[in-house]
Amino acid sequence: AKERGRRCYKFYSDSLNARALERLQLEESLRTALVREEFELYYQPQVDLKSEQITSVEALIRWNHPTLGMVSPGEFIPIAEETGLIIEIGEWVMKTACAQAKSWIDEGFPPCRMSINLSSVQFKRSALTETIKDVIEETGLPPEYLELELTESAVMTDVEQNIQRLKQLKNMGIKIAIDDFGTGYSSLSYLKKFPIDTLKIDRSFVTDLAENKEDEAIVKAIMALADTMNLGVIAEGVESQSQLAILRQYECELIQGYLFSRPLNKDDIGMLLKTGL
């Protein structure tokens, strides 16, 4: 019995070590990923339902790991946040995305806003507005072209301070979207105090939209809320015509999802922006 106990223990500790090691390796290679230029931005169109034009794109980071291949942001962003590496990575994302948007303007493409995901770790830093000002100055992107996607939980803590920060960004001409809306603990009474532009309906409410009456009720409620508060709405994760039909029925303004396009690398999105959908 003692023998088996030891074996069990060993097995447990081995798998624990394996996981810890994997995480440590990821963390180590994350530290050098920037200088080795292993990151790449993909861009997914956000489509205006009425005009069927691409009005904006969301920048989504990709990590091409030398041995593991593509590592999804869902895996490495949390590690980047815990280690603080997200600050540098986030700055790289901002610079690269803004420079890209500027080059589309210079090439004479139809106007297209750039939506960038901002981690709560980035949003909490007092240097944020300075960093953004620098990026705008460096790249020459007019600030009206820039939109920041912030999650509910990022803005709903330290409410008073965040309202000030959002006001600064707004005064610069930058747009603000609340990402994954409906999944956090948004207090509706706070929501009206925040200077935001857009609610982004989370994919979890869209996935079963055509089959699930509760999801439909939630989408309907968010649409009504946005309408009353004069906010724009975008639905993410739209994959099917039946989902689209319901979103159209509730007059959802913008649509993002595989139905129109997957996230594309810079050459492919460039072609799509030039020729249209």
Residue numbers at the binding site for Ca ion (CB under 5 A): 117, 149, 179-180, 202-203
CA angle in degrees (0–180, nearest 5) for 275-46-229: 140
17 or 241: CB nearest ligand C2E = 241
- Residue 119 binding ligand C2E, by CB under 6 A: yes
Q: Which of 156, 166, 263, 264 binds ligand C2E (CB under 6 A)?
A: 263
Build a one-symbol-per-residue string for 172-211: x at contacts with ligand C2E by CB under 6 A, - elsewhere: -------xx----------------------x--------
- Distance CA(97)–CA(139), nearest Å, equals 10
- Distance CA(273)–CA(112), nearest Å, equals 8
- Distance CA(53)–CA(12), nearest Å, equals 54
Give residues 8-67 in contact with ligand C2E (rule: CB under 6 A).
44, 59-61
> 196, 231 in Cβ contact below 8 A?
yes
The number of beta carbons lying within 10 Å of the beta carbon of residue 107 is: 10
Q: Please report how close the Cβ of residue 202 comes to ligand C2E at its closest, in angstroms.
A: 7
Helices 86-106, 73-83: crossing angle, 10 deg rounding: 120
147 or 179: CB nearest Ca ion = 179
**Chain residues in the site for ligand C2E (CB under 6 A):** 44, 59-61, 72-74, 77, 90, 93, 117, 119, 179-180, 203, 236-239, 257-258, 263
